[in-house]
Structure 1
């Protein structure tokens, strides 16, 4: 329930922030099993029994790479370094799974996320999927 709450909030924010809105059914939405051990992980941050953030790691079939998915922090928790801590934890989980390369996609309307990824050492790369919403693509070697 906490993960679903975070995802619902995340999708609602995307719908408000994207010029053309957001419809999850048009997105390359990962299967839940792809973000559960041993293939991946899905983190939920909780404060005072309220879910305030999430981040997923979706394992890729090659076994050496994974995608970071659905990074979101509640507006009330922004500015506290939570997204950075979740990204650090995602990297730790990826290393523990033997992943050597992480990928992520995002939309330039999410300026704070783009700035965070760049600060954390992510490098811009060419498009790697056909999802209609992202316009920026990054990788990080572990």
Structure 2
């Protein structure tokens, strides 16, 4: 597998985002309405990655964007993980773990202090991944911080 940085507005990113949204719809009955500007994922204040199979098919994705202290509960120096997603046929190969490691490395190199993310109770495989690599439950933040199914996690990058 080849993992490369792309713009959040890249056609393959849009395709994988659409697939992720369909999964959210199936699991939660709604898509994720979090506002995301492609510019937020541009270095040095962000990064967006896609994993490709040897034949060039996009199969996994993830990104981070800088966040700082604001009314949605972020802290200065945060890097927020967004759109971690692997197509069903490619799951179980460690792609999400590899992408997550690359995102953490990039955010650390950019001087971010803490990686944060929000997921939900109906994504137990995501929760298991984050716990397995050192994330811990954190106070809720972001658009869905008041929803009962929302779960937030954080990991120091220093």
Report the 3-state secondary structure (helix = DSSP H, G, I; strand = E; otherwise coil) of the residue aligned with 2:143: coil
Alignment correspondent of 1:138: 153
Give runs of ≥4 in structure 1 deviating > 3 Å.
none
> Contact 1:30/1:58 (CA < 8 Å) preserved in 2?
no
Unaligned runs of 5+ in 1: none
Say which of 15, 22, 36 aligns to 2:25.
15
Counterpart Cα distance in 1 of 2:139 and 2:24: 22
Counterpart Cα distance in 1 of 2:82 and 2:27: 18
- TM-score of the pair, normalised by structure 2: 0.82
Counterpart Cα distance in 1 of 2:108 and 2:139: 23
- TM-score of the pair, normalised by structure 1: 0.91
* Greater fraction of residues in helix: 1
Number of residues of Structure 1 aligned to a counterpart in Structure 2: 138
Aligned CA RMSD, in angstroms, stands at 1.5
Counterpart Cα distance in 2 of 1:127 and 1:116: 19
Unaligned runs of 5+ in 2: 1-10, 70-75
